[in-house]
Structure 1
Amino acid sequence: MNTAAGTKLIESYLRTRQVRCFRGHHDDEYFFLVSAYHGRLHVHLQPCGPDGAAVRISISAERYYPAAHRARVADFVDQWNDADPQVTAAVFESSDPRLVGVLAERRYRSGGAEFGTFVDQAVQSAIDLFGRLRALVASPSDSTHLLDAG
């Protein structure tokens, strides 16, 4: 699939799911928001790879985690990735040294599962991931609260 085909695939998904979407900073990049019980997730879809042969799905929470919990978050992310999830997670540094973020990612290559199902499964997996992270970092026995990214 070329970049134009990847863009058509993304646009078809967004239209079929009747998702209100926004254009990203890059050509052919789209993003939309998903409301989950623990806050909103930002879902980005963008053709990638040689000649746009894949679609990158990246999902992040609207909140960051206190850097003091980085080790705990990183350990959980490692365990998550070892469990063979629908999305692979990574911890990243924030521009604010007091915070860290988590990015969930997956790549779609044509010839596999149907694209809509693929994206839906990735989003559902990310909802689970970020829900568990929220519970891990903001447990009732801990007075630390999540910090808003905005």
Structure 2
Amino acid sequence: MNTLQKLDHIDRKVLEILQSNAKITNAQLSKEIGLSPAPTLERVKKLETSGIIQSYHAQLDREKVGLGVTTFVQITLVGHKKQVTDSFVEKINSIPEVVECHHITGSGDFLLKVISKDISSYQRLMLEKINEIEEVASTQTMVILSTFKESKVLPIP
């Protein structure tokens, strides 16, 4: 388990800026946080080394790359033993269309975020892959009609 790391106001500012623009130059970042370039780079490297900054990504427009359907799928497993859960998670991790997998409380056991080309691709994925996982007892799908907020920026306390 990760332990909470102390962040000062400059670290928080660096994280805030990098979350909104990971392509910012070190020179521009140093100007925005009020430090010279060398200590700025040192701070970023420290945040990377400590694991607070895990990676950098290009956020894509799903529709422009041909992915028109996003769904949330609630999964109920056949049982709650560790081996059932572990086996399910291992199989789900091998399906690229499943972009998120969350172990949840409530009426289901897992919540998946699934992105597909279209409804027929989604249906094929469900029938041929997800419903074929022997640990799955039932599924319930919620198709996303519109998205009004989708932020990848974490609110740093």
Does TM-score exceed 0.5, indicating one fold?
no
Q: Which structure is larger by alpha-carbon Rg, 1 or 2?
A: 2
Question: Which is bigger in relative contact order (C-alpha 8 A, separation at least 6)?
Answer: 2
Hey, which of these two has a bigger chunk of strand by percent?
1
TM-score bin (small chain): 0.3 to 0.5
Q: TM-score, normalised by structure 2?
A: 0.33
